[in-house]
Structure 1
Amino acid sequence: MTFQEFCLLLISVLTSALGQLFLKLGATKLGKVDAGNAVSHILKIVLTPELLMGLFCYGLGAIAYILLLTRVSLSVAGPSASIIYIFSVLMGYFIFKEPIPIYRAFGLGFIVFGVVLVVWKAS
């Protein structure tokens, strides 16, 4: 993966991770959805700035990912995009004070190791 391709991947992952952050902030603002309030929540989604920003970030991430797919194979881009999980867990930990149990930390380590193996090019 070239530096430009890596930058596209990073932009895609970071904007998608920001999208997740804003979606979580908006979802927290909405509260829990159940059968009795589902319709009103759907209407509130359109009016919640955090949710709209989350969708906008996801859109930017998708555009960067599409540009990445014009340059690298799906078998490299797809697994590489899984590093978004690391950012999601870190945002959960630092912003929402969610714990990171040891088994989750090991899982994240396996993801990083797997991405390195996928993008590795033997000289």
Structure 2
Amino acid sequence: MRYVIFISSIALAVIGQILLKRGIQAQPFTFQLAGILKTLFSPLVLGGFVLYGLSSLLWLLVLQKFPLHVASPLLSLSYVLLFVYGVFFLKEPISPWNYAGLGFIVVGAILVAWK
């Protein structure tokens, strides 16, 4: 059950980040009050914040069930999922250095999780 909570927390965080990205792409953000309110209350941004908030609540349960030195580094798997999303769906440019960094994240997560 603790792994379900862990995976759910990461999934909600990733989906929340994707919604925030899509929401900010849909309308430019400005530092004027009207622009801030329009951005904050757009459905995608609002949904992103809600999912990210739910992820944070689940993360509290994760911290209760896993040692911190294991849970925290494994959270970096969300970076991997967001990287993949950025490459395949947003067509973001990626350099060899980005791939190398991603490899280090994956290897680090495996080493931390290894028993």
| TM-score, normalised with respect to structure 1 | 0.85
CA contact (8 A) 2:29 2:39 kept: no
* Cα separation, 1, equivalents of 2:23 and 2:52: 14
CA contact (8 A) 1:89 1:100 kept: no
The count of residues paired between Structure 1 and Structure 2 equals 115
Q: Return the match for 2:14 from 5, 13, 17.
A: 17
* Cα separation, 2, equivalents of 1:53 and 1:18: 9
Kindly, what percent of the aligned residue pairs are identical? 35
Deviations 1:55-110 (A, max 9, x none): 11101211221111111111111111011111111111122111222111111111
Q: 1:55 to 1:32 in 2, by over 3 A?
A: closer
* 1:43-122 equivalent positions in 2, closer than 5 A: 43-121=37-115
Q: Which has the higher contact order (CA 8 A, sep 6+)?
A: 1
RMSD: 1.4
| Number of the residue aligned with 2:25 | 28
Query: Secondary structure, in 3 states, of the residue corresponding to 1:70?
Result: helix
* Gapped regions of structure 2 (runs ≥ 5): none
